[in-house]
Amino acid sequence: MNAPVRTTRVITQRRRPRGMPVPEDFAEAELPLAAPAEDEVLVENLWLSVDPYMRECMDAEWELGAPLEGRSIGRVVESGSAGLPVGTLVFHREGWRTHAVLAAAEARVLPRYEGVATESFLGLLGGTGLTAYVALTRIARLRAGETVYVSAAAGGVGTAAGRLARLLGAGRIVGSAGSPAKVRLLTEELGYDAAFDHRAGPSLPDQLARTAPDGIDVYVDNVGGAHLEAAIGAMREDGRIAWCGAVAQYNAGSAPAAPRNLFDLVEKSIRLEGFLVSRHRDAQAELERFLVPHLRSGRVTDRLHVTEGFERTVDAFLGMLRGENTGKAVVRLGRDAPERSAGPTP
């Protein structure tokens, strides 16, 4: 019988970054763990998520010296909860560590979908996919046949948005990315009709005009700044913009200048709406009903950018901020051994 786990390796933040974070902004520590009390569980983390929103958390929200926060998938290894027996796979937010003691109410039991990988609950079936789904269905209200433009299209939300837009009946899907290799990936593997490298060639408006010569109806904005300005310029009348990210400003120290063509929102009757996916958790079941059949059939695959090993979590986070990932950036802590779920197989 294995000895109980009574310590956890954690990553903390040592100092506030100035511009782009560096490895020296972080530290690793080993902390004691108490045995789980009644209605608590001890979870061994299997997968961690690293996400763009975390960069803003570093400026003020995260407490210096404390274990950091993030989405995670783990397996219950000790339980004080009848509803969460040992072996149960759960989703929770005590990431950036190898083990965590959770209140049972803080853990979501993951459903078992035959043929769907567990880690997809950090990808297309997780917050990343949910963000793209909410952007397209609730915020932009995409209609069949419309043209969609996605910025940072090779990232987690961007790759999810391209796949979902196709399934939802978009007529043409175009995207921008940060390298020729990513552009090829978008058009050759991820279902985009056209894409461009925003770091090369003519101006953003010119590149967007070439890839969407008839204009766009929907823009999923992961960048802000010049990308938002170009999208407004390319919008048809009654266009919709779902703004869910602003990577153009995360490391800049201040927000970029507002688009110079904001009055086009009035002239073209364009609707721009920002949103937080945390306010749309009620869409999770709807997303799973819609997407799981396509994952099972193989029509859609979940492209994840996997970094191996807890000790490389900071590397994965910094690489994601530099745009090195294609698809959702995740960290695999250990081999995903056989497990069980407390819930039925849907």
User: pLDDT digits over 291-333, tens only?
Assistant: 999 999 999 999 899 999 999 999 999 999 998 999 999 999 9
Instruction: Give mean pLDDT, residues 270-285.
Output: 95
pLDDT at 116 over 80: yes
pLDDT at 248 over 90: no
Instruction: Give mean pLDDT, residues 200-218.
Output: 95
Q: What count of other Cβ atoms lies within 10 Å of the Cβ of residue 24?
A: 10
Q: pLDDT for 159-182, tens place per residue?
A: 999 999 999 999 999 999 999 999
pLDDT at 338 over 60: no
pLDDT at 19 over 50: yes
Q: pLDDT for 185-199, tens place per residue?
A: 999 999 999 999 999
Q: What count of other Cβ atoms lies within 10 Å of the Cβ of residue 269?
A: 12
pLDDT tier, 342 (very low <50, low <70, confident <90, very high otherwise)? very low
pLDDT score, position 255 = 60
Instruction: Give mean pLDDT, residues 69-79.
Output: 97
Domains of the chain: 7-122+302-332 (3.90.180.10), 127-278 (3.40.50.720)
pLDDT score, position 247 = 72
pLDDT score, position 245 = 81
pTM higher than 0.85 for the full model?
Answer: yes
pLDDT at 336 over 60: no
pLDDT score, position 339 = 43
Mean pLDDT of the chain: 92
pLDDT score, position 218 = 98
pLDDT score, position 335 = 61
pLDDT tier, 334 (very low <50, low <70, confident <90, very high otherwise)? confident
Is residue 128 within 8 A of residue 160, CB to CB? The reply is: yes
